[in-house]
Amino acid sequence: MIPVWVQAAYLFAAVCFILALKGLSSPKTARRGNLLGAAAAVVATAAVFFERPLGNIVPILAAVGVGTVLGAVGARRVQMTQMPQLVALFNGVGGAAAAIVAVVELHGLSGTHSSAVVTAAAAAFTAVVGGVSFAGSVVTFAKLQGLMTTRPVVFPGLPVLFGAAVLAAVAIAVMTAAGPGLLPGTILAALGLLAGVLLVLPVGGADVPIVISLLNAFTGLTVAAGGYVLGNVLLLIAGTLVGASGTLLTVMMARGMGRSVLNTLFGALKGGSTLGAGTASDRPVRSATPEDVAIMLGYASRVIIVPGYGLAVAQAQHALRELADVLTDRGVEVAYAIHPVAGRMPGHMNVLLAEAQVPYEQLVEMDEINPRFKHTDVVLVVGANDVVNPAAKTTPGAPIYGMPILRADEAQQIVFMKRSMRPGFAGIENELLYDPKTTLLFGDAKETMDKLLSAVKAL
């Protein structure tokens, strides 16, 4: 019998998880939500030690200590540009942990009666999907970290091999439900690993953030199923929350790309993907100096800033916020246009700008800000490319065709801050760069932003 105070601690942690998820839905309350979720995790972890008598206390405490140190050091040292990779790794570790627990439980269920069929089925599901989440997250990490190509990796027979792995996993899972054991559990986990690799390999370009969200949902589902297997209500609640929110976020992001989730995952198998040739053009463009752009901004009444991954790479968000503050103090109306898939993970730009303490009220989502572009004097694009590429509307053969974009092309003037003429993450040329209204400001975003800020202050 679980002590009443332990049950109360679990209930407290469950409520905190729900409130934390609610807090994470807005950049304004995200920090508080994150702290609340972390506190709830500490309470839940501590309560486990008092739920029932435990053996092997020393190895358990050692594992907790090692995990705490690795997590804290990794989170503190990682740069903002590497945050998506960190999220992918953490997510994969969660899936792997759930899969390992499931395999161990299947070993413990071997030889049990038919009453354990549902529990065995849940454990089999956890072993497979946990393996998919871990392997898929590792491949995603490798793509984002540059350890492998970000282009879709497709080879003859990949669809057949993937289908065979899925069918084999389903068949063995059914047999495992009737006759659980260590061997079938291990095979299920291995098939999950294979399916996870084959699932993510064909994904490339701007689809990576969507896959991160999907794998996060998978991990949530495995945690929920693991909670059922272990008889732990808190795990069931937490996993359901993560699985449901991850699924909703995946669907929303796919809609933001103007594509279905299935097309996102398997589009490359039929010749489509969000990654093009990736070659730079030698067509002439109009460029300017920071002083020229400062004059444009100084005489503007309305300015919209479009942040992208290049802003994170250069760590120029603080200088950008200071520039926006200077313009605001001079009576210029400033807003940040946030595309749902800008960056390398869901909410990447929100996190980046929140770190620079940009006022939440200035962050405007795509659907709300798009009608305002036609009334905007200057659009300042900092490190973004694909999310303002008109090819998504005008070029049916383009890899990103159909993706809703920020309508920066409707503004009076467009300023692109770019290091070079290389295409964005989708690897295709942006015709907006050659628009007569467009001016390019070349250079490292941090150095160029500092010069631009100084020029604006000198006006």
12's enclosing H/E stretch is helix 4-23
3 state DSSP class of 51: coil
Angle at 236 between CA 198 and CA 35, to 5 degrees: 90
Of the residues 207, 367, 386, 450, which is catalytic?
Answer: 386
Is 386 among the catalytic positions?
yes
Q: In whole angstroms, how large is the CA radius of gyration of the chain?
A: 25
- Closest by CA to 233, choosing from 60, 17, 32, is 17
Q: How far is CA 170 from the centre of its chain?
A: 28
- Closest by CA to 132, choosing from 182, 186, 200, is 200
> CA 35 → CA 38, 39, 41, 58, 244, distances in Å?
5, 6, 10, 28, 21
Q: Identify the residue whose tokens are 């992208």.
A: 308
> CA 352 → CA 114, 309, 321, 389, distances in Å?
52, 10, 11, 22
Q: How far is CA 128 from the centre of its chain?
A: 22
CA atoms of 200 and 266, how far apart (whole Å): 9
- Give me the phi and psi of 345, to 5 degrees please: -160, 165
The DSSP secondary-structure symbol of 161 reads: H
- Closest by CA to 10, choosing from 47, 64, 58, is 47
CB atoms within 10 A of CB 236: 19
Residue 69: both structure tokens together: 């140190």
Q: Identify the residue whose tokens are 């309350």.
A: 29
CA atoms of 34 and 30, how far apart (whole Å): 6
State the angle between helix axes of 83-109 and 182-200 in degrees (0 to 180), rounded to the nearest 10. 160
Is-contact 334 362, C-beta < 8 A? Answer: yes
CA atoms of 399 and 152, how far apart (whole Å): 12
CA atoms of 405 and 387, how far apart (whole Å): 5
Please identify every residue annotated as catalytic.
386
